[in-house]
Amino acid sequence: MAVDGFELAYDLTGSGPVVVALHGWPGDRTDYRDLVPLLSGCRVLVPDLRGFGSSDKHVVADPAEQYSSAAQSRGVADLITSLGLEPAVVVGYDIGSRIAQELARARPDLVRAMVICPPLPGVGARVFGPGPLREFWYQSFHRLPLSEALVDGKPDAVRAYLRHFWEHWSGPSFTVSEEHLDHLVSVYGPPGAFTASVQWYRAGAGTAARAAAETAPAPEDRLATPTAVLWPEHDPLFPREWSDRIDEFFSQARLRFVDGAGHYAPLEYPSVIAEEVHAFLADEGPASDEGAW
């Protein structure tokens, strides 16, 4: 059954407690290929989000209706319920982190705990400083028709464009493989696919668009889902000092720094994510107190 006219492709493997893993931009469900084998004893659901991978890629007149964090979370919630899955530990990085957080707010009955990486709330006006603006340019670019004209439907341009982000956002010990770029070009390169993937930004869901209106909730309205926040050392989008306000938005969160890593969490530090997931499933809470408040 489609939600808002979108069917989601997914992998569902294993048996046991449920884990749902949500990918980022510019990736798809194959971002979790190294994590899934580490989640032994779990039933793991990894979907392609709306507009990505093998899921439906509709380009719509009003992206806010169908590509916002609320819309993306509706699709994930329906997938979980239609498959008859129990409440899950939800893993997310990049846009998958925002969608996980929205899912926990909108459907707390479906989310047992979260293991998430940046973006997190609390960035605020810092995103408009000269350093961050040099990094977040792409979010404004994606909202321009020019991005379609230059990239969409042009496999060579898609490859060069995505390679920039996979190389620039990753940590010093990670190198994206040509095979993975081949795969990404196969799903981002067809006509309309790149444009569908940037509907998230056109819906106003990116960090730069959200930051200006960001306000901390009242204490009783903080997100209460037990949460492990993993913050890498070398993510150029989200410096570690931006982790200082997490407790203003979450009531049961703990921060863990991940040294040596960059933005691409499930490929750069899958063992850390798996450790935190297994800890929640054992009802032990987050696996490490490093960096916790």
**Would you say residue 4 has pLDDT above 90?**
no
- Mean pLDDT in residue range 261-279: 98
- Mean pLDDT in residue range 177-192: 98
For each of the domains in the chain, give its residue range(s) and CATH number, in order of start: 10-281 (3.40.50.1820)
CB 249 within 8 A of CB 222: yes
Nearest to 202 by CA among 58, 43, 48: 58
Buried b (16+ CB within 10 A) or exposed e, 10-35: beeebeebbbbbbbbbbbbbbbbebb
Question: pLDDT confidence of 290, banded at 50, 70, 90?
Answer: very low
- Mean pLDDT in residue range 156-177: 97
- Mean pLDDT in residue range 151-178: 98
Nearest to 115 by CA among 134, 93, 148: 93
CB 243 within 8 A of CB 255: yes
- Mean pLDDT in residue range 277-289: 71
- State the Cα–Cα distance between residues 269 and 109, nearest whole angstrom: 28
- Please list, in sequence order, all residues whose beta carbon lies within 8 angstroms of the beta carbon of residue 162, skipping any fewer than 6 positions away: 26, 181, 184, 185, 188
User: What share of the chain has pLDDT > 90, as a percent?
Assistant: 87
- What pLDDT score does 189 carry? 98
Question: pLDDT confidence of 1, banded at 50, 70, 90?
Answer: low
Question: pLDDT confidence of 163, banded at 50, 70, 90?
Answer: very high
- Mean pLDDT in residue range 152-165: 98
Residues catalogued as catalytic: 94, 201, 263
pLDDT in tens, 17-31: 999 999 999 999 999
- What pLDDT score does 10 carry? 98
- State the Cα–Cα distance between residues 212 and 94, nearest whole angstrom: 19
pLDDT in tens, 212-232: 788 999 999 999 999 999 999
Question: pLDDT confidence of 289, banded at 50, 70, 90?
Answer: very low
> What DSSP designation does 124 have?
G
